[in-house]
């Protein structure tokens, strides 16, 4: 199997700061995207920036975002030709980096920034596949274990797609980098790992007796 080339490094995808933390290979970018399900969607409204948290799913080299057909950015993506310019950012925080100097305090993180144009999905097959991908992106295995959207629900759901073309990842790992002259200072220094997990599933009040929490949930 040939390994596809990485994303293009250009002015748009090159960070102004800490360029050594940037990555453009697809494996790294996909892994960061697949580790999350909430992105921050940025768009421009009346000349001003708007940033909203939104669910997403990835299918190959494409992100899908969805919302109600009444939602502002999704409506804009549908109405506008040629689509809505967006920036989609996904961030995972892995640790708090405590240096001896306030200045060198930092965060260990993994992030992906995608620039591009969001287009509304108008084909029903693609919309259905995208909605399955969105559900399975949050809880793998769930799409097949729930009632699929009916025609009315599908009509009320706007799905937009964004191709992964202008993409970069940025990653910081490791411990603090203090100034040599600060090494002797009497402050604790190191990393406080940030953990993410799940609690025990909480059944809905009206869940019928005898339906156990499925394995795809309890193994998360």
Strand partners, 96: 107, 192
In the complex with a copy of itself, the residue whose CB is nearer, 47 or 82, is 47
Minimum gap (Å) between residue 103 Cβ and a copy of itself: 4
- Does residue 163 touch a copy of itself according to CB under 8 A? no
Q: Exposed/middle/buried for 167, CB within 10 Å: 0-12, 13-18, 19+? A: buried
| Cα 121 to Cα 48: distance, rounded to the nearest angstrom | 25
- Does residue 89 touch a copy of itself according to CB under 8 A? yes
Q: Restricting to residues 178-207, which ones interact with a copy of itself according to CB under 8 A?
A: 178, 182-207
From the list 22, 30, 80, 91, which residue makes contact with a copy of itself (rule: CB under 8 A)? 91
- Does residue 22 touch a copy of itself according to CB under 8 A? no
Buried b (16+ CB within 10 A) or exposed e, 39-63: bebbbeeeeeeeeeebbbbbbeebb
What tokens does 44 get?
A: 């421009």
Residues touching a copy of itself, count (CB under 8 A): 95
With contact defined as beta carbons under 8 Å apart, do 42 and 87 qualify? yes
Minimum gap (Å) between residue 140 Cβ and a copy of itself: 12
Q: How far is CA 161 from CA 26, 86, 132, 140, 210, in A?
A: 18, 11, 14, 20, 39
Minimum gap (Å) between residue 96 Cβ and a copy of itself: 6
Minimum gap (Å) between residue 39 Cβ and a copy of itself: 9
- Does residue 33 touch a copy of itself according to CB under 8 A? no
Minimum gap (Å) between residue 201 Cβ and a copy of itself: 5
| Cα 189 to Cα 174: distance, rounded to the nearest angstrom | 12
- Does residue 131 touch a copy of itself according to CB under 8 A? yes
- Does residue 34 touch a copy of itself according to CB under 8 A? no
In the complex with a copy of itself, the residue whose CB is nearer, 6 or 42, is 42
């Amino acid at each position: 199997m040939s390994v596809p080339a990485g994303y293009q490094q250009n002015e748009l995808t090159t960070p102004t700061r800490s360029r050594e933390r940037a990555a453009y290979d697809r494996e790294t970018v996909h892994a960061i995207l697949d580790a999350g399900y909430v992105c921050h969607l940025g768009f421009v409204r009346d000349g001003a920036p708007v940033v909203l948290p939104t669910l997403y799913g990835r299918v190959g080299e494409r992100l899908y975002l969805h919302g109600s057909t009444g939602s502002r950015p999704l409506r804009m993506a549908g109405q506008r030709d040629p689509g809505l310019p967006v920036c989609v950012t996904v961030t995972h925080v892995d640790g708090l980096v405590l240096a001896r100097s306030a200045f060198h305090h930092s965060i260990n993180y993994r992030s992906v920034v995608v620039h591009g144009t969001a287009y509304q999905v108008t084909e029903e097959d693609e919309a259905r596949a995208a909605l399955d991908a969105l559900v399975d992106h949050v809880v793998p295995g769930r799409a097949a274990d729930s009632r699929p959207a009916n025609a009315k629900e599908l009509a009320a759901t706007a799905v937009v797609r964004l191709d992964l073309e202008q993409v970069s990842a940025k990653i910081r790992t490791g411990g603090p980098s203090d100034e040599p002259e600060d090494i002797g200072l009497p402050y604790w220094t190191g990393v406080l790992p940030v953990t993410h997990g799940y609690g025990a599933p909480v059944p809905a009040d009206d869940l019928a007796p005898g339906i156990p929490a499925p394995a795809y949930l309890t193994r998360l």
